[in-house]
Amino acid sequence: MKRFFRRWYGAWQRTRLGTRITLGLGALALVVFAAVGVTTVGIMHGYLDRRLDEQLSKSQNNQLPQLRETHGSPQSVYSWYSALYKVRDGVATPQPGGQLPGDAKQLAKIAVDAADGDVTRTVYLYGDGPYRVRACPVDNGSVLLSAAPQKDLDGTVQQLIWVEVGAFAFALAVLVVVGRLVLSRGLRPLADMAGTAHDIASHDLAANPALPARAAGTGGGAEVDELRTAFNVMLAHIDTSLAAKTEANERLRRFVADASHELRTPLTSIRGYADLFRYAAANEPAEREAHLAKIRSETARMSVLVDDLLLLARLDARAAETPLRPERVDLAELAGDAADAFAAGRPDHPVTSALEAAFVQADPVRLRQVLDNLLANAAVHTPSGTAVHVSVAAPEAEAVVQVTDTGPGIAAGDQERIFDRFFRVDDSRTRGNGGTGLGLSVVQSLVTAHGGTVSVSSEPGRTTFTVRLPLAR
């Protein structure tokens, strides 16, 4: 039994929603129809019983005055049984002139009980069926008994039952058919959304991450509209997430390729100079020193690249490990020190400054690295003699640092990618300047880690990098 119930329940769960709702509505309607039918039949049966009792009572009340005077025979009404009984010592004896069935023992018993007052009962007379019997005392020792058949009454009730069954069956069939059609039409938007989901499932997201479809159409009511909107919002979110993931994977692929390329170059140089050093070990000391100097130079360059990669990785994972040691520092003092170091190291680029005290909560070492990278970038990508200007101001609630040069400028298309890792304005990938393509990426990551922003504006003859940091409270 339990297995049968589980199998039936499983089949029910696999049935389509519209069919289940239709069957549920049909079952509910069947219960309502049954309740209405039973109530209606009960009310009608009670009403007819009361009407029959009233007829019996009225008929007997009309006869009582005459019977008390004459003690004659009772009137025969319709197809009723009617008789006048004499009751002596608990025995009822029918008087001549009455009309009784062949077996009148039950009627005689009712007459005995009615000697003390009116009695109304329903009895089943063998061969005649159910009868409604009423007996009432006429005078001392006399009882008038009338019995009306209930066949007509039961027939009327039976006919009402069949009419109700037919009407309710027709109404139930109409309800199920129309309800199924209405539900099919109402659930059609859900089927459309399911079709959209199947279309997306059949789409090769590896080849093209853009989701090809959205749930369209109207109708279905407010709930379906809400579901359709939520479904499309979800698809848009998934589409955006897939696009972001694809872009991130592409950036990672490009980053790995660029990092491999950057590391391979100094490693190749080191290996080549090491081979030359081995073959030239017996040669002049000056030649050996030249090879060792090249090896040290390439090693230093590779160390800078690895340090920058490690710093970027730590900044990307700063939730677990922050590389910053913030303290209250004067940005003008840091900018002044960076400008002095730049002037000493690159005398071919004249530098000027306009510094206003601006205190920020920052890591002075990393902030100095930001300034050095911006100044080095200005020197590397501009010809000798290009002027560089450093300014620090504190308008309102932020500190603003600007590094400006008068070089040839940056193309508009390159400005959008200037902070990408390993991006170089020079597409030839020449490394004569010793750059790694990570300087501005490090600047952006460090400024963002300090809660600030960095931007660039450039035109021929003027390029300005602007760093904005929140002032210390």
- 8 A C-beta contact, residue 436 and residue 368: no
pLDDT of the residue at 428: 41
Q: Is the pLDDT of residue 264 over 60?
A: yes
pLDDT of the residue at 4: 65
Nearest alpha carbon to residue 342 among 381, 303, 388 = 388
C-alpha span between 251 and 253 (Å, rounded): 5
Q: How far is CA 82 from CA 61, 69, 112, 366, in A?
A: 13, 18, 15, 121
Question: Is the whole-model pTM more than 0.75?
Answer: no
Q: Is the pLDDT of residue 5 over 70?
A: no
Between 287 and 374, whose confidence is greater? 374
Q: Is the pLDDT of residue 281 over 60?
A: no
pLDDT of the residue at 115: 83
**pLDDT band with cut points at 50, 70 and 90 for residue 238:** confident
Between 185 and 220, whose confidence is greater? 185
pLDDT of the residue at 127: 78
Between 197 and 130, whose confidence is greater? 130
The neighbour count for residue 455, using CB atoms within 10 Å, is 14
End-to-end CA distance of the chain: 76
pLDDT of the residue at 429: 38
| Residue 447: half-sphere exposure toward Cβ, Cα within 13 Å | 23
pLDDT of the residue at 293: 75
* pLDDT tens-digit readout, 78-99: 778 888 888 888 888 888 878 8
pLDDT of the residue at 332: 92
| DSSP H or E stretch at residue 26 | helix 17-70
Between 260 and 349, whose confidence is greater? 349
- Residue keyed to tokens 């000027």: 352
Q: What residue ranges in 271-406 does DSSP mark as E strands? A: 327-330, 351-355, 359-362, 388-393, 398-405
What would the two tokens of residue 408 be? 């040839």
pLDDT of the residue at 404: 94
Nearest alpha carbon to residue 291 among 303, 276, 302, 304 = 276
- 142 DSSP β-pair partners: 86, 139
| DSSP H or E stretch at residue 145 | strand 142-149
* pLDDT tens-digit readout, 163-197: 988 888 898 888 888 887 877 776 666 667 666 66
pLDDT of the residue at 389: 94
Between 454 and 421, whose confidence is greater? 454
* pLDDT tens-digit readout, 398-452: 999 999 999 898 888 788 888 877 676 654 433 445 456 677 888 888 888 888 9
C-alpha span between 355 and 197 (Å, rounded): 60
Q: Which amino acid is at 421?
A: R
**pLDDT band with cut points at 50, 70 and 90 for residue 219:** low
Give CB contacts under 8 A, 24+ apart, made by 17-26.
Answer: 17/187, 17/190, 18/180, 18/183, 18/184, 18/187, 19/180, 21/179, 21/183, 22/176, 22/179, 22/180, 22/183, 23/176, 25/175, 25/176, 25/179, 26/172, 26/175, 26/176, 26/179
pLDDT of the residue at 13: 62
Cα dihedral 170→174→175→178 (10° resolution)? 180
pLDDT of the residue at 453: 93
